[in-house]
């Protein structure tokens, strides 16, 4: 694994951990060192109780252009058999699985193009705020591959099967205004406002009852594979847990006392 200590920038503010993908010279393409660093950073954000929202964004003019193709070509230079599945299982899949399962809100601040696994990473987040110049490309087909890192799971759920098929089959660029119409992003803001608007939303999310949000995410994840009767029961079970939290009591009392609630995330 090559060493690349600065491939991520990590900062904490107001309960928000911001991870900035930082290889702008290659549009934040993922090499193995960066993927290992991202996997570690996501696991740490999950474990750290002071982190109540995770924000992922990119340095420079891109969010991420996906797998570093120069790295890939180097792998092909040797005679060793190529096993992309093994590479996905080792590097990409744990990151996507952790983003989907961690019980705190994860926001993508999509500052530019999100292509290939970069697009998948944005889709794996709970919400996406995009800059006007951002775009989404299921670029896998352009290099003879199938969408990976969760794109075949998330994309049809977000935009419907027909649109997902079209994006995956053609690898065409979907600009931010179309992405908003499709439901691929939650909000589009002017380029020079993305950093502050994403931080504002992330800080707002971090000030909310984190445990209730975590349980909501668990319930929504479970709903994808459940029938209604099972889901109603699952909601009831999670509500029992949420109902025992400090933030639930605080929300009720604050409402009755006509004052803003002070949530602690527990």
Q: Which residues contact ligand T3D by CB under 6 A?
A: 26-27, 29, 65-70, 72, 84, 87-88, 92, 113, 115-117, 137, 139-140, 142-143, 145, 148
Nearest to ligand T3D of 151, 211 (CB atom)? 151
Q: How far is the CB of 98 from ligand T3D (least distance, A)?
A: 17
- Name which of 104, 111, 95, 81 is nearest 41 in CA terms: 95
Token couple for 22: 């930082």
Return the sign of the alpha-carbon dihedral for residues 155, 157, 163, 168.
positive
- Name which of 155, 24, 179, 178 is nearest 96 in CA terms: 155
Residue 162 parent element (H or E): helix 161-170
Q: How far is the CB of 145 from ligand T3D (least distance, A)?
A: 5
Q: How far is the CB of 5 from ligand T3D (least distance, A)?
A: 19
Work out whether strand 135-137 and strand 173-175 pair parallel, antiparallel, or are unpaired. Answer: antiparallel
Q: How far is the CB of 23 from ligand T3D (least distance, A)?
A: 9
CA distances to 40, 42, 47, 223 from 36, rounded to whole Å, are 6, 10, 17, 30
């Amino acid at each position: 694994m090559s060493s690349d200590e600065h491939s991520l920038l990590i900062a904490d503010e107001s309960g928000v951990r911001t991870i900035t993908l930082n290889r702008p010279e290659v549009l934040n393409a993922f090499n193995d060192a960066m993927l290992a660093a991202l996997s570690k950073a996501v696991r740490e954000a999950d474990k750290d109780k002071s982190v109540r929202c995770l924000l992922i964004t990119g340095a420079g003019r891109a969010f991420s252009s996906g797998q570093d193709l120069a790295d890939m070509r180097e792998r092909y230079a040797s005679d060793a058999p190529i096993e992309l599945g093994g590479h996905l299982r080792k590097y990409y899949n744990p990151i996507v699985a952790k983003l989907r399962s961690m019980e705190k809100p994860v926001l993508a601040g999509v500052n530019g193009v999100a292509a290939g696994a970069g697009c998948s990473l944005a889709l794996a987040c709970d919400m996406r705020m995009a800059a006007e110049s951002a775009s989404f490309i299921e670029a896998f087909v352009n290099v003879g591959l199938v969408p990976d890192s969760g794109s075949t799971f998330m994309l049809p759920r977000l935009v419907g099967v027909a649109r997902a098929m079209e994006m995956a089959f053609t690898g065409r660029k979907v600009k931010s205004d179309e992405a908003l119409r499709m439901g691929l992003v939650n909000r589009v803001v002017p380029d020079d406002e993305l950093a502050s608007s994403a931080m504002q939303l992330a800080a707002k999310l971090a000030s909310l009852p984190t445990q209730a949000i975590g349980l909501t995410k668990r319930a929504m994840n479970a709903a994808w594979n459940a029938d209604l009767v099972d889901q109603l029961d699952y909601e009831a079970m999670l509500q029992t847990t949420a109902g025992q939290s400090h933030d639930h009591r605080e929300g009720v009392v604050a409402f009755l006392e006509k004052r803003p609630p002070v949530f602690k995330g527990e």
